[in-house]
Amino acid sequence: MKKIVVITGAGRGIGAATALLAAERGYAVCVNYRQNRSAADAVVRAIERAGGSAIAAAADVSVEEEVVRLFERVDRELGTLTALVNNAGILETQMRLDEMSAARINRILATNVTGPFLCAREAVRRMSTRHGGAGGTIVNVSSGGARSGSPGEYVDYAASKGALDTMTVGLAREVAGEGIRVNGVRPAYIYTDIHASGGEPGRVDRIKASVPMKRGGQAVEVARAILWLLSDESSYSTGTILDVTGGS
């Protein structure tokens, strides 16, 4: 069976590293992005130069109609979906909860919780044997903040990732008998651009001395964990959340 994966938020960081590694391992890749088309196109070009197959597809995962169109495009242009990586996520400037607006909290939850739910729904509709599918795999990209709570920085983001962890376990049990495995990875202290969104581009370097391995992680190290969970090598694992945190 042809391996086809949708990776949300795949224009940069962990998503881009996962897209490149998935293509290297034989997947046709849908590189989803929200706004930065040039970054997504660059990932597609890199995949194609290496002999792989990929498309760049715009969609804001928090908007139901855009998610539906995204998966319909994959149906038309790549074929029957076999894997989903829910990687798209946002955070905003570091602050305490007592400084946060409802608008900010709702933006975080819409992208980081509603988005993965909608994408997983579309994936299940295509992959579940209950719906005539042949099975598949879903990996949700969480955060070490789901365990730490990220106090004083972004408890809204951390809470959204805690919700994603709970969804991972619940959905895994819901579709385990329908040929679908659902797992998660929980990265922390990874060198990506997301820290700049929080107002501290050098956050990993500030924190790395407290990490047992005494260094920050690279996006490809998270990508390798994701690809293991997508692969048959993890065939008896579902509802599992794998920490990629340097021992933290």
- Residue extents of the structural domains in the chain: 4-244
The predicted pLDDT at position 224 comes to 98
Q: State pTM to two decimals.
A: 0.96
Fold classification of 4-244 (topology level): Rossmann fold (3.40.50)
Rounded (5°) CA angle 73-74-76: 65
Catalytic residue among 33, 157, 189, 191: 157
Distance of CA 29 to the CA centre of its chain: 14
- H-run or E-run covering 146: helix 145-148
Q: What gap in Å lies between CA 176 and CA 158, rounded to an integer?
A: 27
**154 counts as catalytic:** no
SS3 1: coil
The predicted pLDDT at position 197 comes to 66
The predicted pLDDT at position 170 comes to 98
pLDDT digits (tens, 9 = 90+) for 209-246: 989 899 999 999 999 999 999 999 999 999 999 999 99
pLDDT digits (tens, 9 = 90+) for 35-65: 999 999 999 999 999 999 999 999 999 999 9
User: In the predicted model, what is the mean pLDDT of the chain?
Assistant: 96
CA–CA distances in Å: residue 187 to residues 1, 150, 227, 245: 30, 13, 14, 5
Taking the alpha carbons at both ends of the chain, their separation in whole angstroms is 38
Q: What gap in Å lies between CA 49 and CA 86, rounded to an integer?
A: 25
